[in-house]
Structure 1
Amino acid sequence: MHRHVTRPTAWWPSRARPLPAGRPPFTRTVVTDAVLAAVFFAVMLVELLGPDGPADSGTTTRAVLICAAVAGPLASRRTAPLASYLVGTAALSVEALWGLENTVSPYANLIGLYSLGLHASRIRAWCGPFAAFLGMIAYFTGQEQRPSWSAVPAGVLFLWLLVWAIGFGSARRLEERDATQLRLRSEVVAGERARMAREVHDLIGHTVNVMLVQAGATRRLLSRDPERAREVLAQLEDSGREALEELDRVLGLLRHTATSPSVQPGLGDLSRLTSRMEQAGITVATRVEPGGAELPGSIDMSAYRIVQEALTNTVKHARAETADVTVRRVGDLLDIEVSDDGHGAGNGYAPGRGLLGIAERVSILGGRLEHGQGEHGGFRLRVRLPLR
Structure 2
Amino acid sequence: MNPSRSMVRRLARLRAVPAPAVDAAIAVVFLALVVVDRTQEPVDGGAAMVTLSVVLTLMIAGGLVVRRSFPLAGFVAGTVGLSVEALAGISSAVSPYANLIGIYSLGLYATRRRALLGPPMAVVGTAMYFAGNRDAAAFEGVGVLFSWIATWAVGYSNARRREEQERARRATRQQAIAEEQIRVARELHDVVGHTVNLLIVQAGAARLLLDTNPTKARELLAGMEQTGRDSLADLDQALGNLRPAPHPVPGLAQIPDLVRRLTSARVRVVLSLDPALQLPHTLDLSAYRIVQEGLTNVLKHAAPCAATVDVHRDGDAVVIEIADDGPGLPEQHVPGRGLLGIAERVSLCGGVLEQGRGPGRGFTLRAVLPLP
User: Which sits farther off after the overlay, 265-274 or 344-353?
Assistant: 344-353
Identity of aligned residues (%): 45
Question: Does the C-alpha gap of structure 1 residues 176 and 321 become closer, same or farther in structure 2, counting only changes over 3 Å?
Answer: same
Match 2:115 to one of 125, 131, 141: 125
| Paired amino acid for 2:150 | L
Unaligned 5+ runs, structure 1 = 1-21
CA contact 2:310–2:320 (8 Å) conserved in 1:
yes
Question: Does the C-alpha gap of structure 1 residues 201 and 142 become closer, same or farther in structure 2, counting only changes over 3 Å?
Answer: same
Q: Does 1:322 align with 2:306?
A: yes
Question: Does the C-alpha gap of structure 1 residues 194 and 72 become closer, same or farther in structure 2, counting only changes over 3 Å?
Answer: same
Aligned to 1:353: 337
Match 2:88 to one of 82, 89, 98: 98
| Paired amino acid for 1:306 | I
Rounded to whole Å, the distance in 2 between the matches of 1:376 and 1:58 is 108
- Compute the TM-score of the two structures, normalised by the length of structure 1: 0.83
CA contact 2:220–2:265 (8 Å) conserved in 1:
no
CA contact 1:117–1:168 (8 Å) conserved in 2:
yes
User: Which sits farther off after the overlay, 100-109 or 155-164?
Assistant: 155-164
Rounded to whole Å, the distance in 1 between the matches of 2:340 and 2:14 is 46
| Aligned-residue offset at 1:111 | 0.2
| Aligned-residue offset at 1:360 | 3.0
Question: Does the C-alpha gap of structure 1 residues 240 and 60 become closer, same or farther in structure 2, counting only changes over 3 Å?
Answer: closer
Unaligned 5+ runs, structure 2 = 1-11
| Aligned-residue offset at 1:319 | 4.2
Q: Does 1:310 align with 2:290?
A: no
Residue deviations 1:235-266, cap 9 Å, x none? 32332333344445555xx13430524x2222
Aligned to 1:17: none
Question: Does the C-alpha gap of structure 1 residues 376 and 124 become closer, same or farther in structure 2, counting only changes over 3 Å?
Answer: farther
Rounded to whole Å, the distance in 1 between the matches of 2:287 and 2:295 is 12
Residue deviations 1:132-190, cap 9 Å, x none? 12212222222122643xx4322222221221122122222222333333333333333
| Aligned-residue offset at 1:309 | 0.9
Q: Does 1:71 align with 2:71?
A: no
Rounded to whole Å, the distance in 2 between the matches of 1:225 and 1:260 is 33
What secondary structure, in the 3-state scheme, does the structure 2 residue paired with 1:337 have?
A: strand
> RMSD of the TM alignment (CA)?
2.7
Aligned to 2:201: 213
Pairing 1:270-281 to 2, within 5 Å after superposition: 270-281=255-266
Aligned to 2:163: 175
Residue deviations 1:304-342, cap 9 Å, x none? 111111111221234451222222322211122222233
Match 1:344 to one of 328, 338, 362: 328
Aligned length: 361
Aligned to 2:365: 381
CA contact 2:43–2:90 (8 Å) conserved in 1:
no
- Compute the TM-score of the two structures, normalised by the length of structure 2: 0.87
Rounded to whole Å, the distance in 2 between the matches of 1:344 and 1:279 is 22
Rounded to whole Å, the distance in 2 between the matches of 1:234 and 1:91 is 86
| Aligned-residue offset at 1:205 | 2.0
Pairing 1:254-265 to 2, within 5 Å after superposition: 254-258=240-244, 260-261=246-247, 263-265=248-250
Aligned to 1:12: none
Question: Does the C-alpha gap of structure 1 residues 258 and 227 become closer, same or farther in structure 2, counting only changes over 3 Å?
Answer: closer
Aligned to 2:154: 166
Q: Does 1:370 align with 2:354?
A: yes
| Paired amino acid for 1:364 | L
Rounded to whole Å, the distance in 2 between the matches of 1:210 and 1:102 is 86
